[in-house]
Amino acid sequence: MVEATPKDPAAAFGEHEVTAPFNFPTEEEKVIRYWRAIDAFKTSLEQSKGRKPFSFYDDRRFGWDCHGLPVEHEIDKKLGIKGKEDVMAMGIDKYNAECRAIVMTYQNEWRDTVERMGRWIDFDNGYKTMDINFMESVWWVFKTLHQKGLVYQGIRVMPYSTACTPPFQLRGWSRLPRGPDPAVTDPKGQVPKARDLQGKDLVGIEYEPIFPTSTTASRAVPSAFSPTPTSLPTPVPVSYTRLLPSVTTITASPSPRRHHPRRDASQPSRRGRPIHQRGSRLQGVHVKEADKAIQKDLKARGRLIVQATLSHQYPFCWRSGTPLIYKAIPSWADSAAGSPTPVTGTSAGTDTGEPHPLWASDDMEEVVCVGSVEELEKLSGVTGINDLHKDKIDHITIPSQQGKGQLKRVEEVFDCWFESGSMPYAQAHYPFENKEKFEKSFPADFISEGLDQTRGWFYTLLILATHLFDTAPWKNLIVSGLVLAADGKKMSKSLRNYPDPNLLINQYGADAIRLYLINSPVVRAETCASRRKASRKSLLEKDHAIKFVYENKAQQSTNVMDRWILLVASRSSSSSARKWLPTALHGGTSLGELIDELPTDAPDALPHSVVLHAFLTENLYQGLRKFLPAAAAEDKEDYRSVHFLSFPEVNESYFDPVIQRQFKALQSVVELGRVIRVNHNLPIRVPLKELVVFHTDQEYLKDVESLSDYIKEELNVRDLVLSSDEAKCGVRFKLFAMARSRPQTAQGRR
């Protein structure tokens, strides 16, 4: 048996003063100090040594995503940087140094908040995406994909800031994709119908585009914005058009809308229709500023049908505050084997990201993909490379093997999602180190993140693991929903429409928040509105339990109440074990239901049932330790914390069906009695002379009689009368029609 020694006074858990109000936040902080004193987290890890490892991927912030726009945005605000030109004037090396300096600024804040919420996390050994070992493993991932022929350079549509890069230019639609089956009709009947056509019937038919291009001819008035046309375009069949009654024709633009970004951008090139940027009069005009000129041109040529202004949400550039556009730009991408459609982009337009390990000739005919620091040093002849960021390696060249001079690194950097998807390998510096350890822990036993990561972290993890190892990277996955702000909107860092979590913790306590969330729709991947008051309410009932633990003395008892408490506690253990193991968290909180079942005025209920309180907070457990018998000398169990104990085994002998039936009857009587008091404005403190319980089942009445003392005490009544005589009790029956049970046809006639 392990106990705190007298030389370790901080490891002594101070008892709660019964007469003082139980302040959950204050008591939780006392528990945290106790955990620190006994080094609880480290001790729990020591206890698991030699056992089968359990691996899980935690939220990405507990590895630290060090690259990408969030970090750059903070530096831009700090230094007053407005665009790409400011970064280049400052120098990439100095800019990266500033970004590295602030990456870990909030580490201590994260550590404090996570600990305050009652989580134990190894912050000291967390990975950082800016570390050379992590970056080198990402290079290995990329090269492995490259060797499998899954990496290519193409066109990818991305949110594009016109303020930070060259302005977007107007382009003409040169193809009209068609769904193969739906008929094209006029839903309002305003146009005389000549005939119905299937989408496939339009394939190959020439049509006049709104803006003719240099590769199209037009019999209409030529546009002032386009050169003289030469041929007409035709609709093309595509596989991704949704078969909806009102949506049968879509447009594929070189700068398409976001719904089909990669597919649309690829259509013109697949169909032999090149993408060009030959706009004359609007060359260099901002896309938003060109609206009026375009509308004027359409109206002059009789092509303008409706002109209106619509209000909708729109993304803006973090740096410049200007509207973003979706533009097709050159990018490196990772595609699924045998599919021409890109699965995930690997390139990003940031300045601080991890560089692509690609060195190419000026004509891009010779490309070398590097997979490690050692390989780069060997190919380039440069030694002592200890950093893989742009400012450290962009000057390195590789001699061409085809007589093309020196190969230079391509300018792109990795999308931070590619780095996040590489986390299982990069955090272990696989395959350069820890190969055996990694193989034992992959795939992970468990992973959890929010619903918004379905197309984010979950997606890139799955794609890369499938390409690399032909397996999913996890065995069990929990998707949590989103906690909405008080106004029903998604919580957003940019909108700041969420409360400071530390303020909530200090006001309501972490246990209340955790218990509220685990009982909320969030654990079923649904949305949940933020309601502060409900957080505290979920733990108010426990206050009575804690007071009972501290103010009552232990005594041996074999009464029916003790037996029932043991039954409910065992049922709770069994229920939790069933519901938590398959990673279905909702329904695993029967502990709260257990407390609700306890009679609040039964002073002998709680002190005897040690097994019950082993599932409550550390505070409850510490209050109960004084009731535990002395452990035998050979007992190696560490009793200093409830977290050092094994999950209790279910004792089948406690499952007594008679006791369970008796207490079910007790609960129904007590609940109805409370309802009657409320309906007649009779608070529980007002004693009543008599309570009459009517039931036609004699077994039910006997069960109630066996627990009559508890019922009278709980409802504060002097006498309990049991009867099955309707006339004596004055029982009256009323019939109420239930509208929902009536046939729907009958309701319609009435």
Domain for residue 118, yes or no? yes
Domain for residue 601, yes or no? no
Give the whole-angstrom CA distance, residue 623 versus residue 578: 28
* Mean pLDDT along residues 427-448: 91
* Mean pLDDT along residues 517-533: 62
**Same domain for 48 and 65:** no
Number of domains, the chain = 6
Domain for residue 637, yes or no? no
Predicted local distance difference test score (pLDDT) of residue 567: 64
* Mean pLDDT along residues 332-357: 61
Banded model confidence at residue 465, pLDDT cuts 50, 70, 90? very high
Which residues does 714 contact at the CB level (< 8 Å), separation at least 6? Answer: 599, 600, 601, 602, 670, 673
Banded model confidence at residue 190, pLDDT cuts 50, 70, 90? low
Give the whole-angstrom CA distance, residue 257 versus residue 518: 39
Predicted local distance difference test score (pLDDT) of residue 216: 46
**Same domain for 434 and 350:** yes
**Same domain for 520 and 466:** no
**Same domain for 20 and 43:** yes
234 vs 598 pLDDT, higher one = 234
**Same domain for 299 and 176:** yes
Give the whole-angstrom CA distance, residue 389 versus residue 353: 7
Residue 438 pLDDT > 50:
yes
Count CB-CB contacts under 10 A for residue 614. Answer: 16
Look-up of token digits 């035709």: 234
Banded model confidence at residue 385, pLDDT cuts 50, 70, 90? very high
Q: Is 539 helix (H, G, I), strand (E, B) or coil?
A: helix
**Angle value at C-alpha 673, between 669 and 678, nearest 5 degrees:** 155
**Angle value at C-alpha 356, between 354 and 357, nearest 5 degrees:** 115
Domain for residue 750, yes or no? no
* Mean pLDDT along residues 653-672: 81
Domain for residue 339, yes or no? yes
**Same domain for 339 and 455:** yes
**Same domain for 333 and 469:** yes
Residue 556 pLDDT > 90:
no
The closest of 355, 395, 358 to 375, measured between CA atoms, is 358
Predicted local distance difference test score (pLDDT) of residue 265: 40
DSSP state of 536: H
Angle between helices 657-679 and 708-715 (to 10 degrees): 30
Look-up of token digits 């190919």: 379
547 vs 414 pLDDT, higher one = 414
**Same domain for 177 and 296:** yes
* Mean pLDDT along residues 413-421: 84
**Same domain for 303 and 337:** no
Written as six digits, the tokens of 200 are: 């496939």
Residue type, 661: R
Strand intervals (E) in 477-550: 477-480, 483-484, 528-529
* Mean pLDDT along residues 439-453: 87
* Mean pLDDT along residues 36-51: 86
pLDDT digit string, tens, across residues 592-638 = 444 455 444 443 333 333 333 332 456 666 666 666 666 666 667 77
Give the whole-angstrom CA distance, residue 454 versus residue 96: 30
Banded model confidence at residue 320, pLDDT cuts 50, 70, 90? low
Banded model confidence at residue 578, pLDDT cuts 50, 70, 90? very low
Domain for residue 3, yes or no? no
Residue 471 pLDDT > 90:
yes
290 vs 60 pLDDT, higher one = 290
Predicted local distance difference test score (pLDDT) of residue 275: 52
Written as six digits, the tokens of 328 are: 């097709």
Give the whole-angstrom CA distance, residue 25 versus residue 512: 10
Of 114-118, 167-171, 180-184, 214-218, where does mean pLDDT reach its minimum? Answer: 167-171
Q: Which domain holds residue 687?
A: 659-729
pLDDT digit string, tens, across residues 131-166 = 899 999 999 999 999 998 888 887 777 777 776 553
**Same domain for 354 and 305:** no
183 vs 26 pLDDT, higher one = 26
Give the whole-angstrom CA distance, residue 219 versus residue 303: 13
Which residues does 272 contact at the CB level (< 8 Å), separation at least 6? Answer: none
**Same domain for 307 and 280:** yes
* Mean pLDDT along residues 446-472: 88
* Mean pLDDT along residues 50-60: 81
pTM over 0.85: no
Beta bridge partners of 360: 367, 408
Residue 263 pLDDT > 90:
no
Domain for residue 518, yes or no? yes
Of 118-122, 544-548, 717-721, where does mean pLDDT reach its minimum? Answer: 544-548
Residue 193 pLDDT > 70:
no
Q: How high does pLDDT run on average in the chain?
A: 71
DSSP state of 53: P
Banded model confidence at residue 483, pLDDT cuts 50, 70, 90? confident
Report whether 120 contacts 40 (CB < 8 A): yes
Percent of the chain past pLDDT 90, that is, above it, reads 13
Predicted local distance difference test score (pLDDT) of residue 622: 67
Residue 424 pLDDT > 80:
yes
**Same domain for 509 and 458:** no
Domain for residue 592, yes or no? no
Predicted local distance difference test score (pLDDT) of residue 84: 72
Report whether 158 contacts 96 (CB < 8 A): no
Banded model confidence at residue 506, pLDDT cuts 50, 70, 90? confident
Written as six digits, the tokens of 113 are: 């908040």
Give the whole-angstrom CA distance, residue 654 versus residue 568: 9
Residue type, 617: T
The closest of 228, 159, 235, 224 to 197, measured between CA atoms, is 235
Domain boundary pick from 479, 499, 515: 479
DSSP state of 630: P
